[in-house]
A and B are shown apart, each in its own frame.
Chain A
């Protein structure tokens, strides 16, 4: 059952990702991106990482892609004016090579580093919260300072006069 679901959601994620880069219209790309993000969230759930799955949907599907769509709406390029990207031989070969590279590294990673089977109780809200505020507290705090700096930087760049 788990294998079937894994193959299903994995296929959706990969197909969605391919559609994101091949669609002509940016809005279609954005919607396929949401699909891919959802499929990846489902993969997280299969690995018992519930918290990560929820956060993935909240942050990426719920906020980041909304901003993408916001930009697409504001720029609103008419359909006949959209730039056309040609699929040259070099580009196709590049994509194929990248695909092989990803596949091989996945096989290697699976053989050497990845633990087999889900590790119990590591992806729940409680477990993630405890790890975040004990073992990784320093990293957590540094990240939050970094994000604060990014927020202030964005405001400073966007608004000359505050």
Chain B
């Protein structure tokens, strides 16, 4: 294939595969969420939907859900502002998927003599792009809450705008430490930086060099994704269903998909920044190399598979962590959420920057 054609093919293929990965995981996660809830809270999860009598642990439930959403009446309340009401789910869904564009799924591979990065776009601004995209997610929630023309959604929308703005601050600041340690905001360089060893023994993963930064980022991300314990915008017991109370049919399912996409993309971001991305512990380009000098040679194809597999496994784990936390921790009160954001997370993230800077300065001397 010639140059431009090859480039276009690669670009389209990457986008198709990575988007398919995300949306596929979204479908699986809706099932995992309910199964996880059932296991954690000792009740029965989805177990009824079947095809020709095959139940497969309720795996067909996402399919049944999708069909149900498609065939429900697409209802618009009288009080709603029609145009904005219809735009809100799109505003919610689009930014949720965009974040995946800067996540590296694996190391560079050579295809037909050309180097291809397993990443849609290795932007110079890297994580700043992620912040820009996640800053957009608030519009779907706010617009949906306001355009529904009803009290509970409006309250949910107001809460979410305040909450997301507050937690974006500590989310940004909690990552400064990572930038300082790995000396880059470019995703590929941060992952490459995590390939080394710390003290020659353990992998130099972000979570080991930035433990406080990791906790702060994880908490801020849960708040950004509006997941329990931070699901203020929808909190059923207070606001019925918050910003999407008035939504039904496929519009509602778009809000749902956006939430699960947040989980999947968020899990990918955590895995990339703090858990080495596609780095497999002690796995070099030529095979395993353990600290004692013990080495196992391996063919490049196997190394590549192991690395992509490591990334996918990490993403799956952190997606599961979202479910785990949701069904374990009760919801905060709204004032508690705000206090945690401004009076605990923000000072701690500033402290993290200060300590990281000091440590790096002392180590350099």
Contact = CB atoms under 8 A, between A and B. Distances in A.
B326 to A, nearest CB: 26
Contact of B158 (A53, A55, A57, A70): A70
Interface residues of A, number: 24
A121 B338 CA distance: 40
Interface in B118-159: 123-126, 128-129, 131-132, 135-136, 138-139, 142-143, 145-147, 154, 157-158
Given A50-B125, A62-B136, A125-B125, A73 B131 contact: no
A70 B161 CA distance: 7
A73 B128 contact: no
Given A27-B84, A63-B168, A73-B157, A54 B128 contact: yes
A154 interface: no
B128 A61 contact: no
B22 interface: no
B165 interface: yes
Contacts of B131: 54, 58, 62
Contacts of A27: 81, 84, 143, 146-147
Interface string A133-153: 000000000000000000000
Given A34-B139, A73-B154, A66 B165 contact: yes
Contact of B135 (A31, A53, A63, A79): A63
A74 interface: yes
A33 to B, nearest CB: 12
B181 to A, nearest CB: 16
A58 B135 contact: yes
A55 B185 CA distance: 14
Contacts of A63: 135, 165, 168
B146 A73 contact: yes
A124 B124 contact: yes
Given A51-B128, A70-B158, A57 B135 contact: yes
Contacts of A61: 132, 135-136
Contacts of B185: 125
Given A61-B135, A73-B158, A66 B142 contact: yes
A54 B125 contact: yes
Interface string A81-117: 0000000000000000000000000000000000000
Contact of B132 (A54, A69, A124): A54
A58 B139 contact: no
A161 B283 CA distance: 59
Interface string B48-83: 000000000000000000000000000000000100
B124 A125 contact: yes
Nearest to B147: A27
B128 A58 contact: yes
Contacts of B158: 70, 73-74
A61 B138 CA distance: 11
Contacts of A54: 125, 128-129, 131-132
Contacts of B147: 27
A69 B128 contact: no
B168 A62 contact: yes
Contacts of B135: 57-58, 61-63, 66
Interface in B91-131: 123-126, 128-129, 131
Contacts of A51: 124-125, 128
Contacts of B145: 73
A138 B3 CA distance: 48
Contacts of B132: 54, 57-58, 61-62
Given A31-B84, A58-B131, A62-B168, 5 more contacts: A51-B124, A61-B136, A62-B136, A66-B161, A76-B154
